[in-house]
Chains A and B, each alone.
Chain A
Amino acid sequence: MYPFPGSAPVPEEKLKKFRRGVKGELYKLRDVVIRSEAASDLAQKQNARYDLMLPEDAGFLEGDEDEDTCTISQDDIVDAVDITAGAKYFNLTLSQFGPYRLDYSKTGRHLLLGGRRGHVTCLDWQSKQLMCEMNVMETVNDVKWLHSEALFAVAQKKWLYIYDNKGIELHCIRKFNDVLRMQFLPYHFLLATASATGFLQYLDVSVGKEVVAICTKAGRLDVMAHNPHNAIIHLGHSNGTVTLWTPNQREPLVKMLCHQGGVRSVAVDKTGTYMVTSGMDKKLKVYDIRAYRPLQSYFLPAGASCLSLSQRGLLSAATGDIVQVYRDVWGIPVTKPYMAHRAKGSVWGVHFCPFEDVLGVGHGEGFTSMVVPGAGEPNFDGLDANPYRSAKQRQEWEVKALLEKIQPELIGLDPSQLSQVDHSTWEQRHEDRVQVLGFDPLAKEKFTPRLKTKGRSSSGKVEKRKKQVAHEDQRIDKERKEKEKKKAAAAGQKSALDRFRK
């Protein structure tokens, strides 16, 4: 009846995006497994089908012939783009209490600035509406938004303080002293702080309790980043190492020797695949942190003091008073920055704004918001971080997020570990069971060759038959792999007739 029966096919690429785990073959419990497989297939397909339609394209700056994009100034860009986009380039001249560190909220609407000499301000940077402004009359080491734009934490000279967006001091947390750097883990509601005394502390902001305080025994901790993929904290040390931490272990999960000098800055990309570090040896290195393998190493003549990675993988590195933006540092080795901008003072903090093509630069003379085409993710997930949400939506989101809060015990190198059975306990239990029963219920039945007549059950023949069956599963596996290899090889080969194919 219909010209195209059935539902429309879903493109393979999209299906790939929603793939969870891999299918394999199972010989037992077929019914259950097949059903669950069907369910996950259905879920995957529907997810792919109802994925974002007509997503926005992300573009990059493209220069004319023989023109480096890095020579294009911000003014040129502003001239070229529309008014709203042009308004995203602005300077705040705050020369009195600088240099400034900054933080964007998760939705990218709000900006928090903390001047070294005590000036703290937060504003809706797009409408330039000031939410609060104050001076804490103390040294400010770092500022950080908490889960929403209603709360922020300020690491002051002695203690850690928490303010609301009106600038009212809510908490002074005496347990957290001499904090130098902070990172907020949004799905765990954890505020991780690194102090000058070498302590890495976790504060659960949903209940206001310290989760754990770990003495890193690595001296002053002023380099910190977190991996958005698995919520692991990366700390850089003066002996050139970068250590990876969870709140669950008292020692670093991984210790990587990255630089020959001290580490100056660390940044981890959104997918948790790459880590970029810069050190005193004036090198910029890119690591694959799944395999802990160095991918690229660059030499920057002046070294990079601050690093930041955007949602779409642009890297900003501050060298002195110059902010450089690099594109795709982990791919083909780059020789030139994508963009460069000279700030008015020495750069103290850089941060890409989520969902916007904007890079915020805090420096000695205030703050600069510069336009970096192609930096932000153009398609936001409205349920996760909606830049245009109303107050009501924010409240609802808050409740939901709190309900879905992930416990700190679940932080680990492999975030999918929860979907695995606790093997060691299971094995222990199984052993106990075997002892009680007197036999292993899961043991594979030993092959006993059938008795055959007419001399076919001679001991030699029996052995032969046993050998035929031995290691069958391994053999099958091997054969399958070989077959796949062959198939792949065959697929790679081109036939002579392929040239006529369109």
Chain B
Amino acid sequence: MAKSKAARKSGETMKIASSCETVVQGMDDEDDEELQRALADDIISASEDEGGSDDERKHCKLLEAISSLGGKKRKKLTERSEASIQVSEFTVNAEGEGDKINLSDLIGTLDKTPSALIKTKKQLKNLQHNQSTLETPLTRKETEKIQREVAFEKTSKEVSRWQSVVLQNQKAEQLVFPLNQEPSGPKRIEHVVAGWKAQTPLEQEIFSLLRMNKQPLHDPVLTPTEEASLRAMSLEEAKIRRAELQKARVLQSYYEAKAKRGKKIKSKKYHRVQKKVMRKEYLKQFDEMVKTDPAAALEELKKMELSRMKERMSLKHQNSGKWAKSKAIMAKYDDGARKAMQKQLEVNKDLTQKLVIPADEDEEDEEESAETLPDFVNDVEPILDQVNPWMRGKLSTEPMMEESNRLDPPVWPREVGKPGEGQDDQEEDEEQMEETEEESLLRGFEERRKLRQTEDVKVAPMPMVENDDGKKAEILEISDDDEEAVEISDDEEALEVSDDDEEAGLSNFTSLFHGLVNHMEPPADQPKAGPGLCQGESPALLEEGLVRVRTLEDVELLSQDISASDTALLTTQILGTEETDTQSATQQADKKRKKMIDPNEVLTKEAKIIEMPLAPTAVEDVEDKEEQRVIIKEAFAGDDVVSDFLKDKRKQEEAGRPKVIDLTLPGWGEWGGLGLQPSRSKRKRFRVKVAPPPPRQDQKLPNIIITEKRDSSIAAHQVCQLPFPFEKPIQFERTIRSPVGRTWNTQNAVQKITAPKVVTQLGAIIEPIAREDLIKHNRQAVTGPSINLESDQGPQKRRSQQKKKHKRKKN
């Protein structure tokens, strides 16, 4: 600690010094100058006083001598005996007198060695500009606090390594001490029996076979390869590796998701830009590759060549497709189509361009020299036939292309200029090339706006238009013309867009038109339909009417009927109502009684008569009359029994119901006395109603009374406080639902269920867990000692297990 303190102190001093410096440096230039001036003045004055310095020294010595006489030791003021006038603390001597060291002075030397320390130079420059001062160092208390925190974190991290071990041991069903024993379980015969050998030829043969194939020789033993794989990686390593893999997978999935999203974007513009970026990047890479790894670059080139060959072989971009053919037909009349075809051809050309492999620079040079004469010199003069794309396909683009190809892969035709087209087109194209993407986008928007405006213009007069087909067609044609006029774009895409727009516009238009027509129709239809309805549909309506309306004859008949059956009907009706009334009354009564339990509903089970093979010998000779009396008694006794029972039940129910508490005090707020009842409102107010009890168990059992009293006697034997890990009764109940004792279980099951939590070996020294065991323990924890509750083995296996058990158990 002492050492570190000292170190810290020195560090602090250094800090202070540097801060001073920076403070000085941090001043503005003007301030700097002023300061320097002031310093210079001081120094000058010091030099003027030099003459008197000898006297001073003597004086000092005298003072020292006096002080030493006093007996107390004083601190010696060390004398500086350097030659210079100004002694810097930092052992840097300034050259000029009275000069303060400037950072620029120090940096000055750097200028002479420009390449070496650019970085430091930069840093220093930054420092010079940096005006902020360094913070004062923390107080001791605070630093100690921080140190404590750091130390705590460190130690807690160290200690927390044991957490898992401790937890495992806590959770373990059984701990067998000493802990790190050899794992119990089946062992190889070779391990157990030292001198065992395969003796019989059959055995030898089998074992040789097994060994040859690296198969396990005994039932549960792992194969050597499996064991090796188990041993190969520790848990932590595996964890780290797993984490790495996970991360990689996650990254991959992110990337995939991103790519998917990008792929889904429909904007052609976006994809174009994307492609461009890709191409640029690719180019860059390729360039670098040419420099760094020419072999790989060659490979790349070969790939390009391959793609070129494929392009040549295929009919892509050859203007042989359906679309191309249609365009060829259109090309006569449509400039756009023509251009599109041209573009296709150019693409083809670009793709099929032979690559020049930059194998040797010399060769290249030679080639260049050879190619100073452009190819198109040999070619036929460009025919200014805009109509024929085939003629234009071989235009003088080649030399430029070749030049560009030397640097670029030939994948992308867009960047290459396209001279040699029709003058107007060429100009336009060039313009387009210059246009940035944004501009083109903006232009697209403008076009669309224009289109919309034209549409609006077309739609506006629509309400005036009558619904004549001819006229509609005319308008359509007009709109088409307009749109054609509007079309300026030369790109294929632009064309398509405009086409789309056109279609959309059309569809909009038609829908609008239809809507209008529909709107117009109903009022027009109605007056027309009016007379038609009167003629055509009225008979049906009339027929319906006939059905509904009674004729005079019917009325007459009815009246007769009524007169005849009037009285009877009335009487029956009255009777009926009466009946229903009585019925409803009885039903209500029934309902009420149901609440009260109908005695007829109690004991309703119909009895089945059993035939008896043997008639009981009637011992007593009972007289008939008496028998009858008994029978009558029995018959009437039943009612009594039932009603008694019901009364009893009702009484019980009443007793179980909580009573209303009446808290009215007579005389408060009104007169009280004999024969005076508190007012009704008061009684109502001070009557405390109690919540109804839960429904009785025998609510739906008419001939049963079940007591609602709780039997508290068993509570003394029940668990009322849950042991530690349990929080809710249901959890605990689940764990104690099956008995543990020998009366209900087999011996083996009892032993397993009631196995002690800690087993120690007699005489074994139990040592605390060593640090080295930590990782091992972690690994072992999975297969640690535990009671095998899962396996319910047959009798033979268990016997062998029991024999092995010779450990002393101790709780």
Residues of A within 8 A of B (CB): 1, 7-8, 10, 20-21, 24, 26, 28-29, 31-33, 35-47, 49-50, 68, 70-71, 239-241, 246, 248-249, 251-261, 280-281, 283-285, 292-294, 296-302, 319-322, 324, 333-337, 340, 342, 346, 383, 404, 407, 409-410, 412, 417-426, 429, 441-442
Contact between B614 and A254, CB atoms less than 8 A apart: no
- Whether a CB of chain A sits under 8 angstroms from the CB of B736 is yes
Partner of A43, one of B707, B727, B753, B791: B753
B638 surroundings in chain A (CB, below 8 A): 240, 260-261, 281
Min CB–CB distance B538 → chain A (angstroms): 57
Contact between A7 and B605, CB atoms less than 8 A apart: no
Partner of A39, one of B609, B637, B717, B752: B752
Partner of B735, one of A36, A241, A255: A36
Q: A39-B738, A420-B733 are in contact. Are A342 and B614 (CB under 8 A)?
A: yes
Contact between A298 and B608, CB atoms less than 8 A apart: yes
Q: A29-B726, A404-B743 are in contact. Are A43 and B738 (CB under 8 A)?
A: yes
- Whether a CB of chain A sits under 8 angstroms from the CB of B159 is no
How many Å lie between the Cα of A257 and that of B727 in the bound state? 43
B213 surroundings in chain A (CB, below 8 A): none
How many Å lie between the Cα of A258 and that of B611 in the bound state? 22
- Whether a CB of chain A sits under 8 angstroms from the CB of B770 is no
Bitwise interface map of B from 558 to 573 toward A, beta carbon under 8 Å scored 1, else 0: 0000000000000000
Contact between A70 and B613, CB atoms less than 8 A apart: yes
Residues of B within 8 A of A (CB): 171, 173, 219, 602-603, 605-614, 616-619, 634, 637-638, 641-642, 644-645, 648, 698, 701, 703-707, 709-711, 713-722, 725-739, 743-746, 748-749, 752-753, 789-794, 797
Q: A38-B789, A404-B743 are in contact. Are A33 and B734 (CB under 8 A)?
A: yes
Contact between B711 and A249, CB atoms less than 8 A apart: yes
Contact between B607 and A297, CB atoms less than 8 A apart: yes
List 16 contacting pairs A-B, 8 Å CB cutoff, sorted by A.
A10-B792, A21-B738, A36-B735, A43-B753, A47-B745, A70-B613, A252-B705, A292-B706, A299-B608, A320-B617, A335-B611, A336-B613, A409-B716, A417-B714, A424-B715, A429-B720
Contact between B705 and A254, CB atoms less than 8 A apart: yes
Contact between B707 and A240, CB atoms less than 8 A apart: no
Given A297-B605, A340-B612, 5 other A-B residues pairs in contact with their CB atoms under 8 A? A41-B789, A293-B701, A418-B714, A422-B718, A424-B715
Contact between A255 and B648, CB atoms less than 8 A apart: yes
B789 surroundings in chain A (CB, below 8 A): 35, 38-39, 41-42
Partner of B645, one of A21, A239, A292, A418: A239
A297 surroundings in chain B (CB, below 8 A): 605-608
B711 surroundings in chain A (CB, below 8 A): 246, 248-249, 253, 412
Min CB–CB distance B734 → chain A (angstroms): 6
Min CB–CB distance A402 → chain B (angstroms): 14
Min CB–CB distance A290 → chain B (angstroms): 12
How many Å lie between the Cα of A260 and that of B703 in the bound state? 11
Closest partner residue, chain A, to B641 (CB atom)? A240
Contact between B612 and A420, CB atoms less than 8 A apart: no
Partner of A33, one of B614, B618, B735: B735
Main secondary structure of the interface of B (DSSP, over half): loop
How many Å lie between the Cα of A241 and that of B610 in the bound state? 23
Contact between B613 and A71, CB atoms less than 8 A apart: yes
How many Å lie between the Cα of A32 and that of B733 in the bound state? 12
Contact between B605 and A322, CB atoms less than 8 A apart: no
Q: A252-B707, A257-B603 are in contact. Are A340 and B715 (CB under 8 A)?
A: no
How many Å lie between the Cα of A426 and that of B727 in the bound state? 11
Closest partner residue, chain B, to A317 (CB atom)? B610
Min CB–CB distance A493 → chain B (angstroms): 33
Contact between A241 and B707, CB atoms less than 8 A apart: no
Min CB–CB distance A72 → chain B (angstroms): 10
A404 surroundings in chain B (CB, below 8 A): 743
B704 surroundings in chain A (CB, below 8 A): 254-257, 292
B602 surroundings in chain A (CB, below 8 A): 257
How many Å lie between the Cα of A253 and that of B713 in the bound state? 14
Q: A38-B790, A43-B749, A412-B711 are in contact. Are A442 and B727 (CB under 8 A)?
A: yes
A253 surroundings in chain B (CB, below 8 A): 706-707, 711
Contact between A298 and B737, CB atoms less than 8 A apart: no
Partner of A324, one of B612, B618, B634, B714: B612
Contact between A257 and B737, CB atoms less than 8 A apart: no
A340 surroundings in chain B (CB, below 8 A): 612-614
Q: A257-B645, A420-B718 are in contact. Are A29 and B731 (CB under 8 A)?
A: yes
Contact between B714 and A425, CB atoms less than 8 A apart: no
Closest partner residue, chain A, to B618 (CB atom)? A320
Min CB–CB distance B618 → chain A (angstroms): 8
